[in-house]
Amino acid sequence: MGLSAQMSTRNISRFWEWGRKIICVGRNYAEHAKELKNAVPTEPVLFLKPPSAYVREGSPIVLPFYSSNLHHEVELGVVIGKGGAAIPQSAAMEHVAGYALCLDMTARDVQDECKSKGLPWTLAKAFDTSCPVSEFIPKERVPEPGNVKLWLKVNSQLRQSGCTSDMIFSIPYLVSYISDFITLEEGDLILTGTPKGVSAVQEQDELQAGIDGLVTMTFTVERKDH
């Protein structure tokens, strides 16, 4: 199939297949910043995951071989439907196609070491399967994205329960802020940060996460021979 034919069959509801950027916001919930003893930020903290981080239900989250403290972080993902740079906050929601429930899997021991050495978080955050995602949720189904309840259970035990109303920086603010530095493209995903309750997962754990009334998803954690 030629490139133009491939482009014409691309569907935003399978955004994870597009090979676009995953832009992550850190410390966007004050209670989470505090539980990790980080300062509450006055500007968004940004980092990236590559598209190879995506994993879908039916495939496992693979424990990175170099970590012994893998954490779950449940987050609302914002799927960009129209690209742009220097997008004003007033127009930001016109660039949003929809949402997805996402996990920002984090090798916390590796992140702590990187932080102490002043090094980037890439190996802590961007490894293969570090971004499990749900099905695409069209924006029409989420009339109030700033008031969405997220939860995550490990082996049926509730670990995280939060609401996007507690985000420090709103979705329009984040879209506008990010687009001042990084041009947004159709198919990009923004992870909006995690509420409190992050904790470690082990091999064979079952992670179930949901957005009230919209979506649930289930993943298992596996170790692979290295």
Ligand X SMILES: CC(=O)CC(=O)C(=O)O
Binding residues for ligand X, per CB under 6 A? 24, 26-28, 32, 36, 73, 104, 106, 193-194
For ligand X, give the closer residue by CB, 84 or 102.
102
CA 195 to chain centre: 12
Share in percent of the chain as helix, strand, coil (round to 5): 25, 35, 40
In this chain, which residue has its C-beta nearest to ligand X?
26
Please report how close the Cβ of residue 54 comes to ligand X at its closest, in angstroms. Answer: 17
Distance between CA atoms of residues 26 and 50, nearest Å? 16
* Contact residues for Mg ion, defined by CB under 5 A: 73, 104, 194
For ligand X, give the closer residue by CB, 94 or 112.
112
For ligand X, give the closer residue by CB, 98 or 193.
193
Strand runs labelled E in the chain: 22-26, 45-49, 54-56, 61-62, 70-71, 74-80, 96-103, 106-107, 131-133, 137-138, 149-154, 157-163, 189-191, 200-201, 206-211, 215-222
Please report how close the Cβ of residue 154 comes to Mg ion at its closest, in angstroms. Answer: 16
In this chain, which residue has its C-beta nearest to Mg ion?
104
Q: Copy the structure tokens of residue 23.
A: 């832009």
Per-position b or e across 156-191, b if 16+ CB within 10 A of its CB: eeebbebbbebbbbbbbebbbbbbeeeebebbbbbb
For ligand X, give the closer residue by CB, 20 or 27.
27
Please report how close the Cβ of residue 90 comes to ligand X at its closest, in angstroms. Answer: 26
Contacted by 27, from ligand X, Mg ion, none: CB < 5 to 8 Å by type? ligand X
Helix (H/G/I), strand (E/B), else coil: 182? coil
For ligand X, give the closer residue by CB, 49 or 95.
49
Please report how close the Cβ of residue 110 comes to ligand X at its closest, in angstroms. Answer: 11
Please report how close the Cβ of residue 36 comes to ligand X at its closest, in angstroms. Answer: 5
The values of phi and psi at residue 218, to 5°, are -135, 135
For ligand X, give the closer residue by CB, 106 or 134.
106
Please report how close the Cβ of residue 18 comes to ligand X at its closest, in angstroms. Answer: 22
Residue from 136, 140, 155 nearest 200 by CA = 155
